[in-house]
């Protein structure tokens, strides 16, 4: 197990190297002088020259890439063109809201989707199944920002139950923190739940047809025990896999949700950086998000052994 | 599995389409809904619309009623007209991205499936591309190349290519070992004929299904990009842009966000239904299961 984990960890290095190369090269794929592109339309000649030296744009491509990667490995992602502050500092500052939103919506998605998908498979073809599958198709089609506005209009404007927008750090108290997190996490959670519910249902349908399920029923086990201990555990691998794959969608969703709900997280940082063409920040944020995605999928891979002891490494 | 498989992948489609309303209600409903959106987009000038850019400051934020069916926006433009014209943008993006991603992905997948040497390099690059969340990748590309509809389409297509390439590669690899392909090679059939007769026909069905999902995801992502201000130029009335403009006033004028939002959701829903329906209709396993 440990050897496998180590091997898998090592295998992520080439992927990350390619991601780094892609993210770094984006700037040079575009036509024109990168210094001119970065400095923007109103920049003067001196601004451009200053930027060129500051970002080492006068050095050869390979050398620049090595400088950037060398820095990134040590946690130095360069300096923001706009605010002149280290990119890593900006990222760390904005981390808490984004982590809270991601974990919150993931929790809501799993708590909603897994039981619903299981029940849909158990009563497949019935009314409950149709409702759940209908919810899944709609949830998959409604953009997260449209859903976000619908929820704000209902819960905040119409019923006045929750704050409209904004974010309160957990340090200011758990109550306000949860109040502000509820709607954004719910919007993003519902969209993600649609995907997970579909896979849960499909995976459970496969498992429910197995002989050992009939045996479990014949032994007189309770329905909940059959579904959870015998069913869900055997259906877990595809479910965990889709949670990992869906994480990419979740990251994209975070960027949008933070805009809808005015949450000062990494998503807002990205959007602001784009509007200001602050390329070091864009590079840094994309690298951090991609690294997270790769690590999450590494953990998903490693978790297979927990759910299915037949999978040995 | 012999040569006729190439035919069987296409032939049932005709009869299935005829009975689709009965056998595939999802596909039928999706197709009808999608057709409505296409008609709305094409016939936008004749469906009771006015100039989508016409400004009437006195009517700003007018609520939906007899004069403004979907209300008016911040500077008094007709939200109904803008929503209908917005369908044009979304359909262009969906079609453009699907066509571009499918053709580039098909090419990379074919090369990767036939050449071991190219395979290693290409698939690692695809792995890397897939690890970058598509919205962020598109956003970075557009931030650098400048916002235009064409750049949005290219950026979204690049993000979708890896999935297509992997799909095509898996089809090629599984076909390469099939007896009918080996027989063709043994018989001395030239490479381009094997490709044309045996490989390409078998990629049509999976690519068609994948294409609809790319279409749906492109429409959705374009609206996301426009919404966060990094997509289609603000002057073009795309659904994401209309919603972005209504963002600041949605608490007392929710109609500006709501109507394009509904149009967007229904379009994506329609394409997803068509995709699911095609998948079930074209997959022999699903047909047998009934």
pLDDT at B275: 87
Chain B residues touching A15 at Cβ < 8 A: 124, 127-128, 131
Chain A residues touching B133 at Cβ < 8 A: 248-249, 251-252, 286, 289-290, 293
B91 at interface of A, judged by CB pairs closer than 8 A: no
A30 at interface of B, judged by CB pairs closer than 8 A: yes
Task: Confirm if B162 and B109 have CB atoms less than 8 A apart.
Answer: no
CA of A266: which chain B residue's CA is closest?
B136
Distance CA B16, CA B1 (A): 22
A290 at interface of B, judged by CB pairs closer than 8 A: yes
pLDDT at A229: 82
Nearest-CB residue to A22 (from B128, B230, B266) = B128
Q: Kindly determine whether residue B223 and residue A143, on different chains, have CB atoms separated by under 8 Å.
A: yes
Break chain B down into helix, strand, coil percent, rounded to 5. 75, 0, 25
Q: Which of B86, B136, B279 to mutate to test the interface with A (most CBs of A within 10 A)?
A: B136
Q: Kindly determine whether residue B227 and residue A259, on different chains, have CB atoms separated by under 8 Å.
A: yes
Map out the domains of chain B as residue ranges: 86-289
B242 at interface of A, judged by CB pairs closer than 8 A: no
B25 at interface of A, judged by CB pairs closer than 8 A: no
B117-129 pLDDT tens trace: 888 888 888 888 8
Q: Kindly determine whether residue B230 and residue A274, on different chains, have CB atoms separated by under 8 Å.
A: yes
Q: Considering the domain B86-289, what is its CATH architecture?
A: Orthogonal Bundle (1.10)
The position carrying tokens 């780094």 is A20
Chain B residues touching A153 at Cβ < 8 A: 250-251, 254
| Average pLDDT over all residues of chain B | 82
> What's this model's pTM, rounded to 2 decimal places?
0.83
A37 at interface of B, judged by CB pairs closer than 8 A: yes
Domain A96-264 in CATH 3.40.1080.10: no
Nearest-CB residue to A37 (from B137, B144, B266) = B144
**Paired strand residues for B78:** B72
Nearest-CB residue to B135 (from A152, A153, A252) = A252
Is pLDDT above 70 for A65? yes
At residue B81 the predicted structure's pLDDT band, cuts being 50, 70 and 90, is confident
Is pLDDT above 60 for A114? yes
Q: Averaged over B190-212, what is the pLDDT?
A: 88
- Nearest C-alpha neighbor of A260 from the set B223, B61, B77: B223
C-alpha separations of B26 from B13, B22, B44, B268 in Å = 15, 10, 26, 14
B 142-161 residues with CB < 8 A to A: 142-145
CA B260 to chain centroid: 18
At residue B15 the predicted structure's pLDDT band, cuts being 50, 70 and 90, is low
B35-72 pLDDT tens trace: 998 988 887 787 767 777 777 777 777 777 777 777 77
Map out the domains of chain A as residue ranges: 1-94+267-313, 96-264
At residue B14 the predicted structure's pLDDT band, cuts being 50, 70 and 90, is low
User: Apex CA A220: angle with CA A218 and CA A221, to 5°?
Assistant: 115
Task: Confirm if A160 and A203 have CB atoms less than 8 A apart.
Answer: no
What proportion of chain A, given as a percentage, has pLDDT over 90? 19
Is pLDDT above 90 for A103? yes
A242-299 pLDDT tens trace: 888 888 888 889 988 998 899 999 999 988 888 787 888 888 998 899 889 888 888 8
């Amino acid at each position: 197990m440990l050897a496998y984990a180590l091997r898998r960890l090592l295998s992520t290095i080439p992927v990350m190297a390619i991601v780094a190369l892609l993210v770094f090269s984006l700037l040079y794929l575009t036509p024109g002088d990168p210094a001119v592109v970065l400095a923007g339309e109103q920049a003067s000649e001196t601004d451009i020259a200053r930027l060129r030296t500051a970002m080492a744009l006068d050095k050869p491509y390979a050398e620049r890439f090595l400088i950037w990667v060398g820095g990134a490995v040590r946690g130095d992602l360069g300096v923001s063109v706009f605010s002149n502050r280290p990119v890593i500092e900006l990222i760390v500052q904005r981390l808490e809201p984004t982590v809270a939103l991601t974990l919150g919506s993931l929790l809501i998605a799993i708590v909603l989707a897994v039981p619903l998908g299981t029940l849909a498979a158990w009563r497949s073809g019935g009314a409950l199944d149709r409702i759940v599958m209908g919810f899944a198709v709609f949830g998959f089609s409604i953009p997260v920002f449209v859903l976000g506005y619908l929820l704000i209009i209902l819960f905040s404007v119409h019923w006045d139950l929750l704050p409209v927008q904004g974010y309160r750090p957990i340090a200011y108290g758990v109550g306000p923190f949860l109040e502000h997190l509820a709607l954004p996490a719910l919007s993003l959670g519902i969209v993600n739940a649609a995907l997970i519910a579909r896979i849960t249902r499909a995976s459970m349908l496969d498992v429910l047809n197995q002989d050992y399920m009939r045996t479990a029923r014949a032994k007189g086990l309770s329905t909940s025990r059959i579904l959870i201990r015998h069913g869900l555990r055997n259906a877990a691998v595809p479910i965990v896999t889709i949670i990992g794959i869906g994480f990419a969608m979740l990251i994209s969703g975070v960027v949008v949700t933070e805009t809808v709900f005015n949450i000062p997280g990494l998503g807002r940082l990205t959007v602001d950086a784009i509007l200001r063409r602050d390329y070091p920040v864009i590079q840094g944020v994309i690298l951090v998000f991609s690294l997270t995605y790769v690590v999450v999928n590494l953990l998903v891979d490693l978790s297979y052994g927990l759910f299915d002891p037949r999978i040995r490494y | 599995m012999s040569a006729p498989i190439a035919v069987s992948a296409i032939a049932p489609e005709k009869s299935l389409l005829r009975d689709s309303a009965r056998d595939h209600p999802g596909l039928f409903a999706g197709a009808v809904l999608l057709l409505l959106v296409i008609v709305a987009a094409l016939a936008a000038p004749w469906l009771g619309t006015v100039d989508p850019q016409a400004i009437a400051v006195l009517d700003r934020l007018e609520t939906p009623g007899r004069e403004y069916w979907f209300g008016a926006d911040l500077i008094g433009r007709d939200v109904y007209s803008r929503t209908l014209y917005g369908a044009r943008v979304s359909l262009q993006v969906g079609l453009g991205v699907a066509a571009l991603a499918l053709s580039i992905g098909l090419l990379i997948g074919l090369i990767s499936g036939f050449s071991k040497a190219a395979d290693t390099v290409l698939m690692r690059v695809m792995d890397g591309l897939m690890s970058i969340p598509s919205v962020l990748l598109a956003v970075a590309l557009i931030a650098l190349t400048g916002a235009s509809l064409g750049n949005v389409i290219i950026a979204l297509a690049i993000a979708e290519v890896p999935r297509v390439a992997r799909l095509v590669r898996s089809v090629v690899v599984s076909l390469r070992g099939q007896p009918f392909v080996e027989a063709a090679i043994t018989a001395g059939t030239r490479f381009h004929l094997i490709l044309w007769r045996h490989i390409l026909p078998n990629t049509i069905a999976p690519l068609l299904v994948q294409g609809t999902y790319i279409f749906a995801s492109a429409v959705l992502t374009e609206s996301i990009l426009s919404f966060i201000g990094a997509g289609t130029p603000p002057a073009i009335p795309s659904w994401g842009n209309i919603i972005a403009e209504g963002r600041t006033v949605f608490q007392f004028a929710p109609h500006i966000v709501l109507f394009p939002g509904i149009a967007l959701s229904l379009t994506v829903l329609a394409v997803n239904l068509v995709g699911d329906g095609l998948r079930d209709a074209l997959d022999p396993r699903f047909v047998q299961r009934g």
